[in-house]
Amino acid sequence: EARAREADAELQKRREESKLKDHKQNIQVWGSETADVELDDEKIKAALKKLDRQEKEAMEKEGSKDKFNSLAGGEDVTPEEMEAWRMKRARGDDPVAAGTAGTKGYDLL
């Protein structure tokens, strides 16, 4: 237990000396410390439509010779857009998401 306290104190000391000490992460969008985030339903719907449109455009361009450009979307992500992305992404660890994955074709009784 004393060893854990020493390790924690050392970690805190390194954080204080770090160059990124004053760096503030965008916790509202990326962090998990925001349990009380107020999201606008209309903005989420708009973000979902935007994601659908982007996916459709990407599928249409599938055969084109466009190169991948990671710097192409340099705009900030809003909390509503992040929530829309979380809603749309596939979750491999969700047994209900696959429909009949856990039942092998049998319905629950």
pLDDT (tens digit, 0 to 9) for every residue of the chain, 109 residues total?
788 888 888 887 877 766 555 555 555 555 555 556 677 888 888 888 988 888 888 777 766 555 555 555 666 777 788 888 888 777 777 666 666 555 665 655 5
Dihedral, CA atoms, 74, 76, 80, 82, nearest 10 degrees? 60
* CA–CA distance, 57 with 65 (Å, rounded to integer): 14
The residue whose two tokens read 């361009």 is 61
Give the global pTM. 0.42
> Could you give the CA distance from residue 20 to residue 23 in angstroms, rounded to a whole number?
5
HEC profile of 38-99: CCCHHHHHHHHHHHHHHHHHHHHCCCCCCCCCCCCCCCCCCHHHHHHHHHHCCCCCCCCCCC
